[in-house]
Structure 1
Amino acid sequence: MVEMRHWPLTSLELVTPRLRLHVPDAAQLDALAGLAAAGVHDPGVQPFTVGWTDGEPDVVARRVLQYAWGTWARWSEQDWSLWLAVSLDGAVIGSQELSGHEFAVRREVTTGSWLGRGFHGKGLGTEMRAAVLHFAFAGLGARHAVSGAYVDNAASLGVSRKLGYRDDGVEHHAVRGTDATLQRLRLNREDWETHRSIDVRVDGLDACLPLFGLPADE
């Protein structure tokens, strides 16, 4: 990604022992779109409330591109969504998102992610979520992180439990025309600190703080 003085998120980078999380450049974004088009979950189930993966491959790929561009276009200090590419050994393997609404006041973030199917079951989902949780709690001063997964999504729920999230009630949604139960999850700062087990390095944060509604010396 070419560094942009007026959009310092292009220089933001989260690094774990195996992964690099970063704003994708055009080629990386196109590769992510192709990865999503090839499949990110068993087609027999739909783990997302918004069924963006239901469609022909070209349609799914365009949805990824449009979603990424939309997060950048809609960004404000009061309502932001940091959509990052996740790279392993130089190749993009999925995306990790961290969102905040009135974050400077509420100090609460929401996470969401996906991985190409060939990268499931290797602990990478845990590692990339740990990266953005470190960014949120240690970098931005969050007090809470929330997430959710449908009750039949054992892999996602397992990641949350491993990282210290606690159950936070349920919701019911219509997914593919049927009732689906979503388990809400919440992680507070104390539980995050207790369950930390992955080293994370954050580069380029200081210049980005005003974009999150925080003073530069936060």
Structure 2
Amino acid sequence: MTPASRSAAKATSTPSPSWAFSESFIADDDTMRLARAASRQLALGSASQGVTSTLTFLAKLMHARAVVEIGTGAGVSGLALIRGMAPDGILTSIDLENEHQVAARQIFAAEGIPTRRVRLIAGSALTVLPKLSDGAYDLVVVDGDPLEFVEYVAQAQRLLRSGGVLVLHHALWKGLIADEANEDDETLIIRESLQAVQEMDDFTATLLPVGDGLLVAVKA
């Protein structure tokens, strides 16, 4: 078997029953199913049930009031975050595509979320992030362009307050990160971003095998 075929086999292997059980442990409700349907209509991937329930859990655990999300999509992850945030919390979500954010606004409206609680910014994350305030955020969730993950990590380090948390989605990237023979651009950059977090003295990190992988790191 060639390295490429080994990578494909790993990426498409059947999940274990225990993994599948944990992923579906917290079921989607009607609004989340609506968000997932909107994602499919836009030909977008979306965070798994395991990932969305983890995002809600983390936001609730932290009593998060200020959250940055890189990659709005159709609002799946944003909906999960807002459900865990403090009642006065504000989600700042960045996406290059205005069409995605229009769909997300519809999902947030269906949930009854006041418009003042969501700040949607259409534009390049690497243009928007430097304009946000240092140390002002409880949680930074990265689900944008994998080729920019290293830069997102550097920005998150600046944006997070002491005790704030970085969440990096797709940290296992379709099962390819663990395959040392795989040197696709996305795989290499995500590996580099994971290593960057490991090497930052002010981050304490763990890697969760949830969905497509979540790196979670708390800032000292």
TM-score, normalised to structure 2's length? Answer: 0.32
TM-score, normalised to structure 1's length? Answer: 0.32
- Higher percent of residues as strand: 1
- Whose relative contact order is higher, 1 or 2, with alpha carbons under 8 Å and at least 6 apart? 1
- Higher percent of residues as helix: 2
